[in-house]
Amino acid sequence: MKKTLLVTGGAGFIGSHVVRLFVQKYPNYHIVNLDKLTYAGNLENLRDIEQSTNYTFVKGDIIDDQLLASIFEQYKFDGVIHLAAESHVDRSITNPLAFIETNILGTAKLLHAARKAWGQDLEGKLFYHISTDEVYGTLGETGLFEETTAYDPRSPYSASKASSDHLVRAYYHTYHFPVVISNCSNNYGANQFPEKLIPLCIHNIKNNKELPIYGDGKYTRDWLWVNDHASAIDCVFHKGVTGETYNIGGHNEWKNIDLVRLLCDIMDEKLGQTKGSAQELIRFIKDRPGHDRRYAIDASKIAKELGWKPSIQFEEGLANTIDWYLENEEWLASVTSGDYQKYYQKQYK
Ligand code: NAD
Ligand code: TYD
């Protein structure tokens, strides 16, 4: 079946994997990627598919009502997959307003534009909002986030994502607007901006720089390979039930320090270094304010109801990811020049 889909934030980390998957897997779909190209958006991420006849890039901001109205009018979208966001917790601590603007106001504007364009003709339409497990707050030593877990966001980032989730659900209840939401755990993989833990450590080990570990390093995250998140998004988009929420995760919990030690060992091997050299770069530094202790996802609903599960084990995914960063030196060099240096100095000095 032919469809025209709007993907927002498609030049970012997860968005670029979603765009590639949809462009290649569904030749009958026309994928329109709307992205502002902030520091995190990079058209290099999509070089291999940018010439595809079923792909169009539009540079723009999701808070621009006029632009939204005009692209909804021009392309007559059947669906929206909304990933555009400010996504880094540390940046949300230093500049919360950017998160409120894009994540809350931007989502509100996108909902408004879609509802206005679709009117009463909602047959076959879907507004799919991509969210995070961070909206659920923090866990103790045990327990998992379920779809029914009460929201308890603790950073400006997670509060802005929680707010956008509430708006999306409000549209479902108030206007019977066809929405679906998924909340995913931490992603890792190719094309992730090196402000996040895994690519930051890979980049620093390559450059023999210190590996900054916040607090005692025993904070726990549940890591999922980005390509598995993209396949889950494909699954929820096509099989998800309107009005429902699906948690997505890898059943793959790691304490930060254990993950970084594993990464160091794999890097030593790949770089032909003596075992233990990269671990010497580890430094425990001042903790992140409001740092959530543990995230872990119960992904049984999406497994049982939609038949999705992750495809690879963490050790394999991590080794592939390291290979990608080692093979794509130019990508890493281009995103770490200029503003990145200023950000790094300010964040870690
Ligand atoms: P990212 O920061 O790598 O990419 C975000 C993209 O959105 C960039 O291309 C950026 O240019 C674009 N963008 C930002 N503001 C915009 C605006 N106002 N208008 C248009 N485009 C704008 O983020 P990511 O890690 O790929 O995350 C994508 C989505 O997935 C986000 O909604 C995030 O909350 C969610 N998510 C991320 C993770 C993760 O581990 N990275 C986990 C769960 C959910
Ligand atoms: P991050 O990749 O920023 O993702 P999130 O905050 O969304 O979970 O961080 C993952 C974990 O790693 C988190 O517990 C914070 C920690 N961390 C560090 O210890 N040092 C760092 O330099 C960064 C960026 C993160």
* pLDDT band with cut points at 50, 70 and 90 for residue 349: confident
Give the ligand at the shortest distance from the Cα of 63.
1
Residue 233 lies in a domain: yes
Residue 264 lies in a domain: no
Q: Mean pLDDT across the chain, nearest whole number? A: 97
Q: pLDDT tens for residues 17-33?
A: 999 999 999 999 999 99
Average pLDDT over residues 113-119: 98
Q: Is 292 a catalytic residue?
A: no
Q: Write the residue with the smallest CA distance to atom 17 of ligand 2.
A: 197
| pLDDT reported for residue 62 | 98
Average pLDDT over residues 229-242: 98
Question: What's the gap in Å between 271 CA and the centre of ligand 1?
Answer: 31
55, 128, 136, 157: which is the annotated catalytic residue? 157
Q: Is 134 a catalytic residue?
A: yes
> Is the pLDDT reported for residue 338 higher than 90?
no
Residue 27 lies in a domain: yes
Q: Is 136 a catalytic residue?
A: no
> Is the pLDDT reported for residue 204 higher than 90?
yes
Question: What's the gap in Å between 128 CA and the centre of ligand 1?
Answer: 14
> Is the pLDDT reported for residue 144 higher than 90?
yes
Q: Using a 6 Å cutoff on CB, does residue 222 contact ligand 1? A: no
Is the sign of the CA dihedral 164, 297, 21, 340 positive or negative? positive
pTM: 0.98
Residues 6+ apart with CB under 8 A from 61: 36, 67, 106
Say which CATH number the domain at 29 has: 3.40.50.720
Question: What's the gap in Å between 42 CA and the centre of ligand 1?
Answer: 11
* Domain with 57 in it: 3-192+223-253+291-313
* pLDDT band with cut points at 50, 70 and 90 for residue 59: very high
Count how many domains the chain has: 1
Residue 173 lies in a domain: yes
Residue 181 lies in a domain: yes
Residue 148 lies in a domain: yes
Residue 231 lies in a domain: yes
Residue 299 lies in a domain: yes
| pLDDT reported for residue 20 | 98
* pLDDT band with cut points at 50, 70 and 90 for residue 222: very high
Q: Is 119 exposed, middle or buried (0-12, 13-18, 19+ CB in 10 A)?
A: exposed
